[in-house]
Amino acid sequence: MKIKKLLTTYIPVLLIVLFAIGPYFWTFLSSITPEKDLYTVDFRFFPTHPTFNNYTRLFTKIHFARNIMDSLIVAVSTALIGLLITIPASYSFSRFRFKGRNIMLMQFLGINMFPIMLLIIPLFIIMKNLHLMDTHFALIIAYSTMAIPFSIWMLTSFFNSIPKELDQAALIDGCSNIQAMIRVTIPIALPGIVSTGIYIFITGWNEFLYAAILTNSAVRTIPVALQNMIGEYQIEWGLLTAGGIVSALPVIILFFFIQRHLISGMTAGAVKG
Amino acid sequence: MKKRSGSFPYILITPALAITILIIFIPMFRTFTYSLTNYILWKPAERGFIGLQNYRQAFSDPILLLSLKNTVIWIVVIIAGQFLLGLSTAMLLNRDFIGRGIARSLILIPWVTPSVITALMWRWMYDGNYGVINEILVRLGILDVYFPFLASSSAALWAIMLALLWQGFPFFAVMILAGLQAIPNELYEAAEVDGAGNLVKFFRITLPMLKPVILTTILLRTIWVANSLDIIFIMTGGGPGYSTYTLPLYSYIRAYKGFDFGYSSVIAILLTIFLIVFIAGYIKSILKEGEK
Amino acid sequence: MKKIGLVLLCLVIAGTTFAKGASEPEGAQNVTFWYHFDDPETALNPLIEKFEVENPGITINAERVAWDVYNQKLLTSVAGGNPPDVAQVKLWWQPQLVEMKALLPLDSYIAAWDGKDDVFDKIWDLTKYSDGNQYYMPLQMVILYLYYRVDMFEELGLEVPKTREEFLKAAKALTRDTDGDGNIDVYGFGIRGARGGHDWWGTFVLSSGAKFFDANGNSGLTTPEAIAANQWYIDLYRVHGVSPPTTPADGFKEIIANMISGRTAMTIHHLGSSTKLEEALGDKISAAPVPRGTEGYWTSFGDEENAIFAVSDVPDAAFKWTSFLATAENNAVWQKSSGQVSVNKSNATAGGNRFLKATTDSADFAGVLPANPGTAEFVESLWPALMQQAFLGEITSKDMMQAIADHFAK
């Protein structure tokens, strides 16, 4: 039995984890290697003179901690606002049949298909007129809106996979529509809500183009800070790789604490609610 | 479930609808009107209505055709790869084993690494002079000498697609993992009583129960992958030649390197139409799924 | 879960800036300045502090913008009606910016500025726009030259090439298998085949009969000489194989990496990479002007200027800042960060190291791309795509030159 588990679980999991962290680990090795040692004719897997100098520079000279903070503020707010707007809408799409439902669902899908980079100039003008240029709020509005179409579809499908008999039972018990949604459906859909929240969070965490155009020095998210290390004639390779390593860490740690809610499932959710 | 709930469903939708109309729909409509003008950003004086001229130009544009072909390969290969790997990952991570929380967090790394780093890192790993992928392939005896992956018009697109597979499979894993939680345990217990094996349980219970989530994730991911361009842009910039041009990359280059927003909008609109056609049948089946 | 949510929420509210706090003292002039530097550790603060002390009442709000989106952000901000007061700019953006009526002509300001005579005359010539106005204030310059490995040249008894033919001979001799395993280990010349490589191309093609525009304003790219010159350049890679197999995808990172590792024996670049190369190679690296083509010399003059935007409401203060940066003492400070060359005559030192010497020796024939609105797109996307196709044998030299000529004819 143990051998079977080793073969069917541990080894496949290990392979997938290795695939996932391989390039990341390689980035890490690159970040602790002095740049000129990277370009040698004889190949070395591990650096002969490892140094953490790039990390020191990252936090003392570049103020990367501030960039992490800016990214956290933007990504967390985007996820919260995005979910707040999306949950009711998705619940409605999943639980009710009303006039215009399909058209509206298709509308959300349609705008998802259009390349958003072409919306930058109109958005720039909107933000300028609202005096929101170079604020966190500009990015939060832009990102949560960008995430809405996607999240609505995602959450609607999660709600759809929850038996409707459950909230019907609640209605029969005398709950109002709103109570049925908050007390019954949402707790059961928590894994779906959390994973959609993670999606919105990561979208905000990684987005570059809007951040580069809509903000300047008052708000500088991680992708923009990293891009600033690529110059016209030079790439600051050491800082860039160190920055890449550091910028994935907060999310990984955050996720480590949140992932438990991905397994709450039927029973746990129902009890909690 | 037919139910008259008056205005309640509309109230729930209003905030989402209002903000998307304001921030996306109106700018999108504007972009649509650009496609009928010769809107070149730095020629404001000459801007005017030109009818369908941009569209006519598009239909005889060999780069557009090549981009379309690449976009189809791009979507099909990446989505199939990401989905299969993501599904396997989710099934594995749903099992009980020591270190599950850590494994679940670690597989998220590709997804949370900023695209600029992902692109530069893969570029560095593919490097034709110092790249680790080349070194490993040479040591394994698969290659005799280092191969310039990104300088080859036949290999470059595939090389980038592998990077995108890496970046995107955790998304499928997380979404499917969440979907797995909504499957009531009683179903499996009942099946076990009937003596069903793992394979039977997977095809009879897991897949059918996951269907709504799988259909939606594939649909949404198709749209996302079809539109993604940052990794290509940094890894090859569309090169060598035009061999890694996709429709969104072409649209981006026309808009922000040529500043020709008229033509760029045409490409974007054609991409949208292509996507709608590409997934039309698919959407139908999802909407049906929701009706049940 | 709720706790995490609550903590995050507090964090967010504490840190969010909802709107820009616009609290400026009455009468103060705030100049917004966009710039880009390659080295992210450098700061403008000392220069800004000095300026603000010398010019009470003016504050400089400097914004560092990532190079990759710099041009895009600048044009977006102009189109959106909210450009900075002053921005660092490149010469090949000028036609588009002027066409958009975005720039303030500076002629009257410059006429009254007593520092103007200390800026090299050649820079004033190169930056003057074709409509006769001067929109750009010089900031820094850089000239491309040939880097070569002294030790490899000595080993093979080669002279530093002065002409195209000598160059090809040297490059072929330097391309060799050093360890006898049947694979080539060193390549003679590192060609930049990806975006930005037009400067390498120009050195050999624009010096040998190709011209963007001839005396009559017609394209000079499709003449037999021009096509032959382009073919000669393509052959460096395709026929003679003196550049590594990775050439079509190589950017500056790869070019410099290949010099550091000894993978290539020559390349073209500028002063900005000399520190890194010297640190890795010491005396083994040296520099000389680029070789002569069939009709003369051509090397790229890499420029940076400042421009003031027409909608700026503080043009006088903005000019003070740009002229401050173009003044010898301050310009020298700027170059310390940029690693490039001052625009001021009084900063020119007679001696200097071998890299600076290669730069000044090349000054007479350094050229720029045509002041044409099509140049930006040529640089950013057209040239790389065509060059790579030509290197891979997908199009001919003639196809490539014709496509460039067609682009500029639009």
Q: What is the pLDDT of residues C86-109, one digit of tens each?
A: 999 999 899 999 999 999 999 999
Environment class of C180 (CB within 10 Å of its CB; exposed 0-12, middle 13-18, buried 19+): exposed
Within 8 A of B258 by CB-CB distance, chain C residues are 377, 380-381
Euclidean distance between CA atoms C121 and C344, whole angstroms: 10
pTM (2 d.p.): 0.90
Non-local (6+) Cβ contacts of C20 within 8 A are A131, A133, A134, A135, A218
Cα C357 versus chain centre, distance: 19
What confidence tier does B172 reach under pLDDT thresholds 50, 70, 90?
very high
Give the A:C interface size as CB pairs under 8 Å.
133
Cα dihedral sign, A179-A182-A183-A185: positive
Give the A:B interface size as CB pairs under 8 Å.
303
Non-local (6+) Cβ contacts of C312 within 8 A are C83, C85, C86, C104, C318
Parallel/antiparallel/unpaired status of strands C136-143 and C299-308? antiparallel
What confidence tier does A270 reach under pLDDT thresholds 50, 70, 90?
very low
What confidence tier does C143 reach under pLDDT thresholds 50, 70, 90?
very high
Non-local (6+) Cβ contacts of C11 within 8 A are A72, A73, A76
What confidence tier does C68 reach under pLDDT thresholds 50, 70, 90?
confident
Q: By the 8 A CB rule, do B248 and B271 touch?
A: yes
Tokens 């974007």 correspond to B268
Which residue of C3, C12, C39, C278 is the best one to mutate when testing the A interface, meaning the one whose CB has the most A CBs within 10 A? C12
Cβ distance of C12 and A121 shorter than 8 Å: no
Element (H, E) at C266: strand C264-269
What confidence tier does C10 reach under pLDDT thresholds 50, 70, 90?
low
Which residue of C246, C256, C372, C396 is the best one to mutate when testing the B interface, meaning the one whose CB has the most B CBs within 10 A? C246
Within 8 A of A103 by CB-CB distance, chain B residues are none
pLDDT of residue A185: 84
Cα separation values, A10 from A16, A18, B96, B97, Å = 10, 12, 10, 8
Nearest Cα neighbor of C59 from C40, C31, C36, C37 is C31
Beta bridge partners of C176: C186
Nearest Cα neighbor of C257 from C283, C243, C276 is C276
Q: By the 8 A CB rule, do C144 and C359 touch?
A: no
Q: Is the peptide bond before B240 cis (omega within 30 degrees of 0)?
A: yes
- With CA atoms as reference, the chain A residue closest to B267 would be A115
Average the pLDDT over each of A114-123, B239-248, C14-23 and give the range with the smallest value. C14-23
pLDDT digits (tens, 9 = 90+) for A195-204: 899 889 998 9
The one-letter amino acid code at C98 reads V
Nearest CA to CA, how far is B27 from chain A (Å)?
A: 6
What confidence tier does B5 reach under pLDDT thresholds 50, 70, 90?
low
Evaluate if residue B66 carries a pLDDT over 90: yes
Other Cβ atoms less than 10 A from the Cβ of C223: the count is 16
CA-based end-to-end distance of chain C = 60
Euclidean distance between CA atoms B219 and B213, whole angstroms: 10
Q: Which chains have at least 3 CB atom pairs separated by less than 8 Å from chain B?
A: A, C
pLDDT digits (tens, 9 = 90+) for B220-250: 899 889 988 889 999 999 989 999 999 999 9
Q: Which of A27, A198, A222 sits opposite B174 (nearest CB)?
A: A198
Euclidean distance between CA atoms B239 and C129, whole angstroms: 33
pLDDT digits (tens, 9 = 90+) for C217-264: 889 999 999 999 999 999 999 999 999 999 999 998 899 999 999 999
Euclidean distance between CA atoms B163 and B150, whole angstroms: 12
Most distant CA pair in chain C, distance: 76
Euclidean distance between CA atoms A15 and C197, whole angstroms: 41
State whether residue C197 sits within 8 Å of chain B by CB: no
Cα B201 versus chain centre, distance: 30
Interface of A with C in 148-207 (CB under 8 A): none
pLDDT of residue C14: 53
Average the pLDDT over each of A231-235, C157-161, C356-360 and give the range with the smallest value. A231-235
Non-local (6+) Cβ contacts of C399 within 8 A are C386, C390
Evaluate if residue A273 carries a pLDDT over 60: no
Euclidean distance between CA atoms C373 and C93, whole angstroms: 8
Q: Which domains does chain B have, with CATH numbers?
A: 61-291 (1.10.3720.10)
**Interface pTM (ipTM) of the complex?**
0.87
Angle at A176 between CA A172 and CA A181, to 5 degrees: 100
Cβ distance of C388 and B258 shorter than 8 Å: no
Q: Which domains does chain A have, with CATH numbers?
A: 1-51 (no CATH), 54-272 (1.10.3720.10)
Which residue of B41, B42, B243 is the best one to mutate when testing the C interface, meaning the one whose CB has the most C CBs within 10 A? B42
pLDDT of residue C351: 62
Parallel/antiparallel/unpaired status of strands C211-213 and C366-367? unpaired
Mean pLDDT within A32-46? 85
Within 8 A of C276 by CB-CB distance, chain A residues are 35-36
Euclidean distance between CA atoms C344 and A135, whole angstroms: 39
The one-letter amino acid code at A84 reads L
Mean pLDDT within C366-391? 92
Euclidean distance between CA atoms C59 and C408, whole angstroms: 42
Cβ distance of C246 and B236 shorter than 8 Å: no
Nearest CA to CA, how far is C73 from chain B (Å)?
A: 9
pLDDT digits (tens, 9 = 90+) for C177-188: 988 888 899 999
Cβ distance of C380 and B257 shorter than 8 Å: yes
Non-local (6+) Cβ contacts of B114 within 8 A are A205, A206, A208, A222, A223, A226, A244, A247
Non-local (6+) Cβ contacts of C111 within 8 A are none
Rg of chain B on CA atoms, in Å: 23
What confidence tier does A62 reach under pLDDT thresholds 50, 70, 90?
confident
The one-letter amino acid code at B151 reads A
Within 8 A of B145 by CB-CB distance, chain C residues are 183
Query: C363 phi and psi, to 5 degrees?
Result: -60, -35
State whether residue C9 sits within 8 Å of chain A by CB: yes
HSE-CB at B126 with a 13 A cutoff on CA atoms is 25
Mean pLDDT within C374-396? 94
Beta bridge partners of C134: none
pLDDT of residue C21: 44
Within 8 A of C252 by CB-CB distance, chain A residues are 233-235
Which residue of B10, B11, B24 is the best one to mutate when testing the A interface, meaning the one whose CB has the most A CBs within 10 A? B24
State whether residue C388 sits within 8 Å of chain B by CB: yes
Nearest CA to CA, how far is B199 from chain A (Å)?
A: 13
Q: Which chains have at least 3 CB atom pairs separated by less than 8 Å from chain A?
A: B, C
What confidence tier does A272 reach under pLDDT thresholds 50, 70, 90?
very low
Nearest CA to CA, how far is C114 from chain A (Å)?
A: 32
Cα separation values, A253 from A247, A256, C409, Å = 11, 5, 56
Mean pLDDT within A180-194? 86
> What length does chain B have?
292
Cα separation values, B224 from A106, A113, B79, Å = 16, 8, 10
Within 8 A of C194 by CB-CB distance, chain B residues are 237, 239
Query: B72 phi and psi, to 5 degrees?
Result: -65, -50
Q: Give percent of chain C above pLDDT 70.
A: 92
Cα dihedral sign, A52-A57-A58-A59: positive
Q: Which chains have at least 3 CB atom pairs separated by less than 8 Å from chain C?
A: A, B
Other Cβ atoms less than 10 A from the Cβ of B14: the count is 15
Evaluate if residue A265 carries a pLDDT over 80: no
Q: Give percent of chain C above pLDDT 90.
A: 68
Interface of C with A in 123-162 (CB under 8 A): none
Euclidean distance between CA atoms C210 and C230, whole angstroms: 8
Which residue of C96, C179, C392 is the best one to mutate when testing the B interface, meaning the one whose CB has the most B CBs within 10 A? C392
Reduced to 3 states, what is the DSSP secondary structure of residue A78?
helix
Cβ distance of A73 and C38 shorter than 8 Å: no
Cβ distance of A218 and C5 shorter than 8 Å: no
Within 8 A of B166 by CB-CB distance, chain A residues are 19-20, 23
Euclidean distance between CA atoms C242 and C238, whole angstroms: 9
State whether residue C19 sits within 8 Å of chain A by CB: yes
Element (H, E) at C33: strand C29-35
Cβ distance of B258 and C75 shorter than 8 Å: no
Q: By the 8 A CB rule, do C173 and C303 touch?
A: no
Q: Which domains does chain C have, with CATH numbers?
A: 29-141+302-355 (3.40.190.10), 145-301+367-409 (3.40.190.10)
Q: Give percent of chain B above pLDDT 90.
A: 44
Other Cβ atoms less than 10 A from the Cβ of A26: the count is 18
Angle at B108 between CA B107 and CA B114, to 5 degrees: 130
Cβ distance of C381 and B236 shorter than 8 Å: no
State whether residue C177 sits within 8 Å of chain A by CB: no
pLDDT of residue A1: 62
What confidence tier does C15 reach under pLDDT thresholds 50, 70, 90?
low
Cα B122 versus chain centre, distance: 18
Within 8 A of A209 by CB-CB distance, chain B residues are 230
Cα separation values, C342 from C305, C327, C336, C355, Å = 12, 10, 9, 14
Euclidean distance between CA atoms B156 and B234, whole angstroms: 13
Cβ distance of A16 and B171 shorter than 8 Å: no
Tokens 């709103």 correspond to A178
Q: By the 8 A CB rule, do A96 and A102 touch?
A: no
DSSP, res C106: -
Average the pLDDT over each of B49-58, B133-142, C229-238 and give the range with the smallest value. B49-58
Mean pLDDT within B44-50? 84
Euclidean distance between CA atoms C232 and C214, whole angstroms: 21
Question: How would you write B124-164 as a 3-class SS string?
Answer: HHHCCCCCHHHHHHHHCCCCCCCCCHHHCCCCHHHHHHHHH
Interface of C with A in 279-338 (CB under 8 A): 279-280
Average pLDDT, chain A: 86
Euclidean distance between CA atoms A98 and C37, whole angstroms: 56
Element (H, E) at C301: strand C299-308
Which residue of B129, B157, B264 is the best one to mutate when testing the C interface, meaning the one whose CB has the most C CBs within 10 A? B129
Q: By the 8 A CB rule, do C152 and C265 touch?
A: yes
